[in-house]
Amino acid sequence: MLKIIFWLLLLANATLFAMQKGYLGALYSDGREPTRISKQLQADKIKMTVAEAAQAASAAVASTAPAAPAAAADPAPVVACTEIGNFAAAEARRFSSKLAERAPNVKFVRRETQEVASHMVYLPSLGSKDAADKKADEIRRLGISDFFVIQDSGALRYGISLGIFRTDEAAQKQVASLAKRGLGGAKISTRTVSSSKVAFQLRDLGGDAKIAFDKIKLDFPGQEVRSCAGP
C-alpha cells in the first residue's frame, strides 16, 4: 500500500512538471498559459517532493510497528537458608511429604532439636480412657495427627495434648487453627516440658519453590519460620 501511494505521488509530481513546461499543451483545446494554469486542480496543494513522500511513508511504517515488549519484572531474590520448625515426629513426616510433593527440587536438611517449651494446648480430661480414645478417633477424622492422650496422674489424666509451644503467641495460633479445622474447646496451660523436635533447613529457596513453600507453611501455623546460616 505504501509503495502505491509513493508511486502515485511521484506520478503526480511528474505530471505537474510536464504541464508547467507545456509538454502536455496539445491535450487542451486552448494552449495559452493562463488557461492551462486555470484548469489545474489546486496545483499548489499537490506539490509534494519525493523526499517528503519518503518521509511520510517512513512515518506510516513507524506507526504500525509493534510496540517493544515491556521489560520483565525482576525475579524474587533467592533465600540462601530458611529454617522452619520445631515439629513433633508426626507433623515432621507430614511436612516432608508435602514438601516432596509440591517442591521436589528444594534441597533441605532435617535436624533434631531439643525444645524446652512452657505452653501446652490441650483438651481437658475426658474422665476415662474409653472416652479419651473415642475423642482421639474424632480428632483423627478431622485430619489432625499431632496429639496424644495424657496418661499422667493428676488433673489432666485422660485429657488430650494438642501441641507444646515455646511462646503463648504460637499456642494461640494453634488454638485458632484447630478451631478452623472443626476442633473447639482447646485450652492453653503453662507447663515446662523438654521434648525432641525436628527442624527443616531449606536451601536456595526462590521462584516457584518459594511460592510452594509459602503455601505449605499455611498448613502449619504453629511453626516458626526463621533465617539460618547457609552451608
> For 81-97, what is each residue's pLDDT tens digit?
999 988 888 899 999 99
Q: Residue 231's pLDDT band (boundaries 50, 70, 90)?
A: low
The conformation of residue 66, written as its DSSP 8-state character, comes to P
160 and 122 Cβ atoms separated by less than 8 Å: yes
Q: Which three cell numbers stand for residue 166?
A: 515455646
Residue 28 clears pLDDT 70, i.e. is over it? no
Question: Quick one: angle between helices 89-102 and 207-217, nearest 10?
Answer: 150
166 and 118 Cβ atoms separated by less than 8 Å: yes
Residue 20: the pLDDT is 66
Residue 176 clears pLDDT 60, i.e. is over it? yes
**145 phi/psi in degrees, rounded to 5:** -120, -15
User: Residue 84 and residue 108: Cα distance in Å, rounded?
Assistant: 11
User: Residue 51 and residue 62: Cα distance in Å, rounded?
Assistant: 17
Contacts of 213 (CB under 8 A, 6+ apart): 82, 99, 103, 106, 202, 205
More confident residue, 26 or 83: 83
Q: Which residue has the cell 478452623?
A: 180
Q: Residue 50's pLDDT band (boundaries 50, 70, 90)?
A: very low
Residue 96: the pLDDT is 93
